[in-house]
Amino acid sequence: MNFLEMQKTINKKIPLVSLLYGTEDYFIQKLKDLIVEKSKVGEENIASYDLREVPIQEVITDAETYPFFGEEKVIFAYNPTFLTAKQEKLPFEHNLHTLEQYIQSPVDFSHLILIAPYEKLDERKKLTKLLRKNAGIVECNPIKSNEFSSWLQEMTKRLQIFVERDAAEILEAELSTNLQMLESELTKMALYVGDGGNITKSVVEQLLAPTMQSTSLRLVDAVIARDLTSAIQIFKDLQKGNEDPIALIGLLAFQFRMILRVKLLRTKGYGQSQIQKQIGAHPYVIKIAWNREKSFSKENLHTIMKQLAKTDSILKQGKMEKEIAFEMLLYDLITIDQQA
């Protein structure tokens, strides 16, 4: 079952036993909120357990105990490591037989939700198979690239706004791996344009909160413009947010590597769409690199990549203070002779 299917299920009737697994917090939190909303239980009838600290048999005992207030209770049980292939050493033992029995015959006044923040489950285990057969189980992993448009449509429909194609490209390139931030940013833009409003590329560029990805693009722009002052200021702004220069070097390396790959393929006669298929990156990423490759020769780009690798090594070995090393890197990148 996927997220949307589970939403529909919960809206009709909350499963007595559910398993939410995956690494996408956005999906897990949304389903948790929906379960609490639809169950209409008070805080006194909501319990949370960490299964790395409490054995599952204690959780089942709670589930089988009739609520003192109201007619239903909701129990969230986090980190069921016994559903994964890798076992974790704990100071107690989980009685999984108790859970197996409960899954097959749960009480009708409790909703037990197991929350497993793991990409995969061990499908060979009897317990996993029982959950597949008897519980509401949903995968909550990050969306695939071909699913982004559907999610954007779902969010914009709910917010009663429209997003133009150029604006959608930027949002996908920046936020396709963070649905929580995507929803937050779209909500902000919806307030800006109003009901039925149109989100244009200009609106996105004006309102989108800076990300490491967008910051690396701005730094590349500063290198192209040979604007050391702007580059240093961008870096200073990042420092206020405690961003790690090593991570930023990684993003810069990605940007310049993409520019180099596009340049090499372009010299072989590849068109923009052909390059996109060859590299497999997002069309917006290719479009940006396509427009920027003219500012660099192949020799410049190879030199830039070597300089990035050198600075990365210096920082990781602690041979120089990060701030000084990164500012020297920016100076070196900007003073490299650029030729069309």
Q: Where are the alpha helices (DSSP H) in the chain?
A: 3-12, 25-39, 56-64, 96-104, 126-134, 148-159, 165-175, 179-193, 201-207, 212-224, 228-240, 245-267, 272-279, 283-292, 298-316, 322-335
Helix (H/G/I), strand (E/B), else coil: 256 = helix
CA count, 13 A, side-chain hemisphere, 202: 2
Contact criterion met (CB below 8 Å) for 110 and 73:
yes
Contact criterion met (CB below 8 Å) for 185 and 192:
no
> What pLDDT digit, counting tens, does each position of 177-220 carry?
788 889 999 999 999 999 999 999 889 888 887 766 677 777 88
Chain-centre distance for alpha carbon 217: 19
- Indicate yes or no: pTM above 0.85: no
Q: Is the pLDDT of residue 306 over 90?
A: yes
Helix (H/G/I), strand (E/B), else coil: 308 = helix
Contact criterion met (CB below 8 Å) for 262 and 293:
yes
Paired strand residues for 198:
162
Residues 6+ apart with CB under 8 A from 76: 32, 46, 47, 48, 49, 113, 115
Q: What is the arithmetic mean of pLDDT over 296-308? A: 91
Alpha-carbon distance of 210 to 174, in angstroms, equals 9
Q: Is the pLDDT of residue 106 over 60?
A: yes
Q: What is the mean pLDDT of the chain?
A: 88
DSSP category for residue 42: -
DSSP category for residue 13: -
Q: Is the pLDDT of residue 340 over 60?
A: no
Domains and CATH numbers, the chain: 3-139 (3.40.50.300), 145-207 (1.10.8.60), 212-335 (1.20.272.10)
> What pLDDT digit, counting tens, does each position of 119-146 carry?
999 999 999 999 999 999 999 988 877 7
